[in-house]
Amino acid sequence: MANLDRLPDTPKCQGVRTSIRAHLIAAMGQTATLLKRVQDVSYMEATSDQTNRSRTSPPPSRRHRSRSPNNRRKDSRRDDGGRDTDGHREQNRRRGQEVNQHRDLRHNIPPKDARDRINRRAVHENLRHIEYDATHGPPGLRQFSSHLRQVVWPRNFKLEKLKKYDGKENPENRITLYEIAIRSAVGDEHVMANYFPVVLDQAGHQWLLGLPEDSFDCWEELRQAFIDNFIATCEQPGN
């Protein structure tokens, strides 16, 4: 358009200038119309593609955040920036360490029920007896050998009240009744020998304690010695 103004100002050039300007203006109008049509078609195609994609693709899933107590506590610990503060992080770390320590202590707590306490007490007593026996020998009369003094008493061992032997009754009869009583209480020969001094009177104690050490190694030896000693002094029938 600027070059047209450079043409000479003659009637012929003016006519040419006017004709060219008219054609240019018409061409520019047609170009603007074509550009608008192209834009409209592009917009319609883009809208159509978006509509088709929305129909064929599944709707986006909505994930709802669980509002559990832990999440609520975590949200309450967040600051305005949406992040945990350093103080809260340190507090959470210490709390986790305390929980682990309490859990370890709970696993190491000794059992407290009565049965376990009784069992531990029994083990302690047995160990104490073993240590004592290793130093001093098994408890009991020195007239009994170490082997005879190693007695295992029946659980809840208890005899009916027996009259103490005073040296007047027949020793064989007394020994027979004594053995029956011990057997009824689930006692063995070691129990018979070690409990025997309990059913003796003063005369029996003087006889038994006056004997040398290690005089008896089994119940049969004690039984026979007792009968031999008191059979002559007991009251015989008809006397």
Any domain includes 80: no
pTM given for the model? 0.45
Any domain includes 101: no
Rounded-to-10 torsion of CA 177, 178, 179, 182: 120
pLDDT of residue 79: 47
Any domain includes 188: yes
The span from the CA of 69 to the CA of 200, in Å, is: 78
pLDDT per position as a tens digit, 125-178 = 766 766 655 555 678 899 999 999 999 999 888 887 788 998 888 999 999 999
pLDDT per position as a tens digit, 6-17 = 656 676 666 766
Any domain includes 3: yes
Give the total number of structural domains in the chain.
2
Sign (positive or negative) of CA dihedral 179, 180, 182, 188: positive
Rg of the chain on CA atoms, in Å: 59
Any domain includes 55: no
> Are the CB atoms for 140 and 151 separated by under 8 Å?
yes
Segments of the chain with pLDDT less than 70 = 1-9, 11-14, 16-17, 34, 38, 41-43, 45-85, 88, 98-113, 126-127, 129-137, 237-239
Sign (positive or negative) of CA dihedral 227, 233, 234, 239: positive
Any domain includes 109: no
Domain, as residue range, for 4: 1-40
Any domain includes 69: no
Q: Other C-beta atoms within 10 Å of 173: how many?
A: 10
- Amino acid identity for residue 93 in this structure: R
Any domain includes 58: no
Give the three-class secondary structure for 200: strand
